[in-house]
Amino acid sequence: MLERGQEEKILDAAYACIARDGYAHTSLRHIAHEAGVAVSQISYHYKNKEGLLLAVVERAATNYHAYMQEYLHPHMSPREKGECVIALFQGVLEDDPELFRVLYDLAGLALWSEPFRLQVREVFAGIMEQITTEVFTAELLGDLGHQHTAETLASLFFGGLFGIALQALLEPENKAIVSSLSALSVVFK
């Protein structure tokens, strides 16, 4: 079995290659070269490129959830948490855009592959659940007077965040796109 250090090097290399070049343009040979290991070591542990990609999905989800835990605190009001989620997306787009490139690449693959679809759907469901339970609480819904459910507003909010983040990646020179995320706070008014 591979040493823990080699597994992490392979996963780090796969994440970096996919973020930089995209899944379609990343081969096991590229990943092995970047990790400094033999292709056989990747195949031994992850079976194939799809198995390695599923591990990358888990890594992306873990990174996102770590960001959420760092930003959201129990003492915050639902509105403050919503504003923090917006700030989180802005910060990640500026400091770690690779996370979004990997997520978008994986979401595209999920349209065509059942294992990826299930895994990406699980990641998105976790994000949606966190937004629903921490931001769109009964307290906030009562204050807003919306007739929509928490799930509907969370879906609208997440869709806006995700869509604007995609625009920002497609037009990295247009810094106004990232700052437009703050307009999503209109959902809290």
**pTM (two decimals):** 0.82
Q: Which residues contact 116 (CB under 8 A, 6 or more apart)?
A: 50, 53, 54, 57, 106, 109, 110
30 and 91 housed in the same domain: no
What tens digit of pLDDT does each residue of 104-156 get?
Answer: 888 888 899 888 898 889 888 988 998 999 999 998 998 888 789 999 999 99
Query: In which domain, by residue range, is 11 found?
Result: 1-47
66 and 103 housed in the same domain: yes
142 and 109 housed in the same domain: yes
* Residue among 1, 96, 115, 111 at smallest CA distance from 58: 115
Phi (first) and psi of residue 173, to 5 degrees = -75, -20
Does residue 1 surpass a pLDDT of 50?
no
Does residue 141 sit in helix, strand or coil? helix
Number of domains in the chain: 2
The pLDDT > 90 percentage for the chain reads 42
1 and 29 housed in the same domain: yes
